[in-house]
Amino acid sequence: MKKARNTKNGGFSLVELLIAMTITLILMGVATSLFAGALGTRTRESRKTDAITSARAALSALSREISNSGYGLTSNGIVIGDSGEHTLHFRANLENKDYTTDSPGEDVTYFFDSATKSIVRYDPNNDPTTSVIVNRISDVKFEYFDYSGASSTPSAPLTTPTGNTGRVTITVMVTLEEVVGQPSEQTVTFTSDVTLRNSHYMLNQY
């Protein structure tokens, strides 16, 4: 009569278990890295969207008011001595009161405040006189284009306005906040051209 043979119990050896654990850890590391990258991209795009929305709203507000510069006056309305690359001071006689500009919205200065990274609106005839249009801005630049006589060809962009300025270009720059795993110092730039419809050049077109 034959005796039954003893069979060994099946199982993993220590080496096999270590290999399996190593492979699992590698796969988990890859998955975590991919997830972190996707999360970083999502955060970056979310902040970019917020920056675009804020900057466009600011440009819309600036463009609307600046285009009225000189309304009811005999000049383009820009206060030359107070305006430059980062500041624009303009006037308009919106209420047609004997060429005075002492009502809210008629004597406005927009400037970039580097301390707070904001575009600030100053109106001495309003309450409050100072308000922040948009913050988290890296820089704001104004460029001025002059038109002489009936010529439709503007001058090269100037950093200071003159009595012949008929168009202003506003450039808003936003540096996005740092996001882990994403390129640093990413900048979004927006530009808006504003025609001074009450400038001498524009009025001569009609």
Mean pLDDT of the chain: 84
Torsion of CA 25, 27, 28, 30, to 10 degrees: 120
Pick from 65, 88, 64, 67: which is nearest to 78 by CA?
88
Mean pLDDT of 67-78: 92
pLDDT in tens, 89-122: 999 999 988 888 999 999 999 999 989 888 999 9
Give the pLDDT of residue 160: 96
What are the sequence ranges of the domains in the chain?
35-203
**Which tokens in the block code for residue 113?**
């405040």
Q: What is the pLDDT of residue 120?
A: 94
The letter for the amino acid at 94 is L
Burial tier of 91 (Cβ tally within 10 Å: 0-12, 13-18, 19+):
buried
